[in-house]
Amino acid sequence: MSDHRAFVASLYRRHFGELSRFLTRHVGCRELAADLLHELFLRLLANERAAADIRHQRGFLFRCARNLATEAASSPRWRGAGRADEPSSADESADWLCPERRTDDRRTLDRLLAAVENLPPRCRDAFVLHKFDGLSYAAVAERMGISVGTVEKHMMRALEACRAAARNGATPPWIGK
């Protein structure tokens, strides 16, 4: 094994764990973090001259890792070409890059929609009028012919159902199945 390859291998062994944790926290996805980390070491292997000039190895590796995470947030290579509906700012969170996160978010959304759908009809109507149509409690009360206090009770019930659905998928016992 050449000196350069041995040097990069030693960096990999010494810093892989902490770099992996750093990138996972930074991009929010373990698989993407692993891909980025492997890309970092591949680039280091390919550039023997730059690797020889490293004075502060740990700092250099963390800076490279952060730069790759920023690149991943804005590059079609990492997020899939032609995805116009995705955020493109490098400063935004890269959670959306992770397929696991997207699947979890979709399941949570499905649970929330099911929770709203399973609300009693008047409760659901009050919730939809306030949250989706943007009406104030007073406007909802007027439209539905009920008191503002009743709207508040409907909203508390609906929000509790949404919280329960978002937490763990469980629905409160008062919601029928």
Separation of alpha carbons 107 and 128, rounded Å: 20
Select the more confidently predicted residue: 98 or 43. Answer: 43
Query: Which H or E run includes 61?
Result: helix 57-74
End-to-end CA distance of the chain: 64
Cβ pair 171, 117 in contact under 8 A: no
CB count, 10 Å around CB of 99? 11
Query: How far apart are alpha carbons 137 and 148 in whole angstroms?
Result: 6
Could you tell me the sign of the dihedral formed by the alpha carbons of 86, 88, 89, 95, in that order?
positive
**Predicted local confidence at residue 173, as pLDDT:** 47
The first and second tokens of residue 16, run together, are 């892989």
The tens digit of pLDDT for each residue in 76-122 reads 655 543 333 444 444 344 555 566 666 776 777 788 888 888 999 99
Mean pLDDT of all residues belonging to the chain? 78
Report the predicted TM-score, pTM, of the whole model to 2 decimal places: 0.44
